[in-house]
Chains A and B, each alone.
Chain A
């Protein structure tokens, strides 16, 4: 028991570190790069790691390390913005549905469920078909694609918390419905939403990389981990490192996010809240 518990702490610390690193890269990633990530150096085409290019260079001789850092900035920035967009809009709609219940709730839920009925990336692909590939397009597309999940979780948290006795107690002491939701319901809905936000952050990173890989995300030459994979694909035999490195970045990020999500889930679980 104790052994596993210590694992949890190490995991959470690793996840938190990854998230903080990502936040840092989102703000300063481009500035850390030793080279301009878009500067061509045809002499260094497809070279391996060396003193000039620490992690080698790509098919146009662009410095891989610089492109990975700039790619991190793009991915992280898109992920944070998309998450903020999906959370803000989803929470408002979920709160309205859970608060008013009745016909308003039913109408919102029918529409919401219909949007949840689009499998994963498909809704985003459809929106990208309208928008065309661009960074802001991804934010809107992924934001809209993941918003319905936020609506669901917010609404069900609000509905289940409303049933608890302390919410009734708040009404009995004279708080209005609005004050009750603001003071007692919403604060208690934060833990499940935090868990969802963490999970969703991982989905967004993954989806953005996938879209960019398809050429429907961050448009080249601006680097992102996903489009680096796509452009390196023809050179998979000559320079496998170009494929390995961006994927490794995505994997480490997702691993960190997933471990953090697990730790938060354990933390938010009422069973672990120290009842006894």
Chain B
């Protein structure tokens, strides 16, 4: 099944959306966050605005139906035409007849884009109540039918339920159902699946494309994910700092990029390097034996004590210097396993040995000396640094607890480590909020390696970062490993990053490791069905899913 569809031939003469010289400013005449953007979308066509955070792609999309957040305004010389009618300067009541009826919008965060205090049925019905003359009963029937169409079990029950009773993927389907009810001519989808797991992401996107094809709806997709764009979209514009630097058919833009920035983006996509040879040590650096981790739900009045097992009897061995990637969906237990290894979460059974000596069990945590050698890089660079500490103090703090580095050498070691992660001396006096996301993650890495540990757990270290920054951080980790020789447990949901950095891969599902093996084996010849499903859902550049590339 080719998920991509193209109606460019009819699109040229009757554009659904025509944006000409669109500029968005902060306040009247203020700084421009979108600059002279022009593009058009034909009936039933799928078009994407691609860019990193701060590129202005979201604000450009929001301008189409004029739902910009407060200080932002569309510059008066801009033109946005929907079905030939000018939106800029249109009277509010006229505009409201277009919003929801002809143009629908799906938002990024399914957790906050539905009203938490209103039953789903009433929220869905709103658009039809406004834009159609259907009776209340008919509206409800249609809502239920649409929920059924997006494969929500028990659609009638869903109508009277509240959003918090559904998972993120389900909410995004509900959102999609509610927007498609009015059969809009244009759907604006702003990073619609970024907050979702890989498998769910794929399902929601396929559903979105199906629905749009059925209703002849054109799509304006906002995304940072080149793989996804190449997979679903026919034409795209690449945005940087508010400007479209390059536009055209996706196949051409991504395979033969003309603008240096587009080239940089394409190059930032992770790619598989040659397999490294990791010598097998007689005793593994770290051995996890039958590790089980439970979470006790906080006990509440009148409730039985609930214990949830998150990690089930996991065995794992890591060799000195190697990178083992731990892959799985959210809730698979991969983060919990990582936290147990660094001693943040006490296991309820099993043990972890470091260099052949027991380090962690249900009864004990790591000794101070062992802690020195097992460090961690956290996912969110915004909360993993104490906002009140300066870079030099953050990186230097572990040394205060390390007697092997004399006080006189601490400063030199901090500077050397910062240099190694690419932070010059000018950064030492800065506070975390004065740094970008990538720079913060460099500080977090410097803190982890300043004592030259033998083992580092990196929990989704790049998932909060922009693509080009991701690339830099992944390369940095690989280079530092080369330089200092530490082994790494790389926890990630992103198969691309894993393919680039891992020597071996372990796949985790519902607390179990279902498959483990060398990278090339896992990616080229997966044996477990769950691994296959994950690989099939991943969207690589070039439009063909991984399964097709493997030749079936």
Contacts and interface: CB of A to CB of B under 8 A. Distances in A.
A170 B383 CA distance: 12
A173 B398 contact: yes
Interface string A177-201: 0000001100110000000000000
Interface stretch (B81-89, B311-319, B372-380): B372-380
Interface stretch (A79-87, A111-119, A161-169): A161-169
Interface string B350-393: 00000000000000000010011011101110111111100000
B444 interface: yes
B387 A188 contact: yes
B384 A165 contact: yes
Interface in A224-276: 273-275
Contacts of B342: 172
Contacts of A175: 397, 401
Interface string A1-38: 10000000000000000000000000000000000000
A14 B382 CA distance: 34
Contacts of A273: 387, 433
A170 B398 CA distance: 8
Contact of A188 (B371, B375, B386, B402): B386
A274 B378 CA distance: 21
B56 to A, nearest CB: 14
Nearest to B457: A172
B53 to A, nearest CB: 10
A173 B401 contact: yes
Contacts of A172: 342-344, 371, 374-376
A1 B27 contact: yes
B372 A184 contact: no
A166 B371 contact: no
A168 B344 contact: yes
B282 interface: no
Interface in B219-276: none
A164 to B, nearest CB: 5
* B interface residue count range (under 10 / 10 to 19 / 20 to 34 / 35 or more): 20 to 34
| Secondary structure call for the B interface | loop
B529 interface: no
Contact of A274 (B27, B386, B388, B433): B433
Interface in A145-179: 164-166, 168-175
Interface string B14-44: 0000000000000100000000000000000
Contacts of A173: 371, 375, 397-398, 401, 447
A109 to B, nearest CB: 13
A54 B203 CA distance: 81
Contacts of A174: 368, 371-372, 398, 401-402
Interface in B375-422: 375-376, 378-380, 382-388, 397-398, 401-402
A172 B444 CA distance: 12
B71 interface: yes
Contacts of A187: 386, 388
A1 B382 CA distance: 26
Interface string B56-97: 000000000000000100000000000000000000000000
A265 to B, nearest CB: 17
Contact of B384 (A1, A166, A171, A274): A166
Contacts of B343: 171-172
Given A171-B343, A171-B344, A174-B401, A166 B368 contact: no
Nearest to A276: B54
A164 B434 CA distance: 19
A162 to B, nearest CB: 12
Contacts of B434: 274
Contacts of B397: 170, 173, 175, 183
Contacts of B27: 1
B384 A169 contact: yes
Given A173-B398, A173-B447, A165 B388 contact: no
B378 A169 contact: yes
A72 B310 CA distance: 61
Nearest to A179: B401
A165 B380 contact: yes
Nearest to B397: A173
A105 B341 CA distance: 28
A158 to B, nearest CB: 15
A184 B375 CA distance: 18
A275 B447 CA distance: 21
B371 A275 contact: no
Nearest to A173: B398
A39 B447 CA distance: 68
A239 B376 CA distance: 73
Nearest to A169: B384
A169 B447 contact: yes
A230 B384 CA distance: 56
A188 B431 CA distance: 14
Task: Please indicate which of the listed interface residues A165, A187, A274 has the most CB atoms of chain B within 10 Å of its own CB.
Answer: A165
B401 A166 contact: no
Nearest to B444: A169
Interface string A37-74: 00000000000000000000000000000000000000
A187 B393 CA distance: 15
B68 to A, nearest CB: 15
Nearest to A163: B383
Nearest to B27: A1
Given A188-B386, A273-B433, A169 B376 contact: yes
Nearest to B384: A165
Contacts of A170: 386, 397
Interface string B304-345: 000000000000000000000000000000000001001110
B385 A166 contact: yes
Contacts of A168: 339, 344, 376, 378, 384
Contact of B378 (A1, A165, A184, A188): A165
A166 B71 contact: no
Given A172-B343, A173-B398, A174-B372, A166 B386 contact: yes
A170 to B, nearest CB: 8
B327 to A, nearest CB: 21
A175 B375 CA distance: 13
Contacts of A165: 378-380, 383-384
Contacts of A166: 383-387
Contacts of A275: 382, 433
Nearest to A184: B386
B352 to A, nearest CB: 14
Contact of B383 (A164, A183, A274): A164
Contacts of B339: 168
Contacts of B433: 273-275
In the A-B complex, the 7 residue pairs with the closest CB atoms? A165-B384, A173-B398, A165-B378, A174-B401, A174-B371, A166-B386, A165-B383
21 contacts: A164-B383, A164-B384, A165-B378, A165-B383, A166-B387, A169-B378, A169-B384, A169-B444, A171-B344, A172-B344, A172-B371, A172-B374, A173-B397, A173-B398, A174-B398, A174-B402, A187-B386, A187-B388, A188-B387, A273-B387, A274-B433
Given A173-B397, A173-B447, A184-B386, 10 more contacts: A166-B383, A168-B376, A168-B384, A169-B378, A175-B401, A187-B386, A273-B387, A273-B433, A274-B433, A275-B382
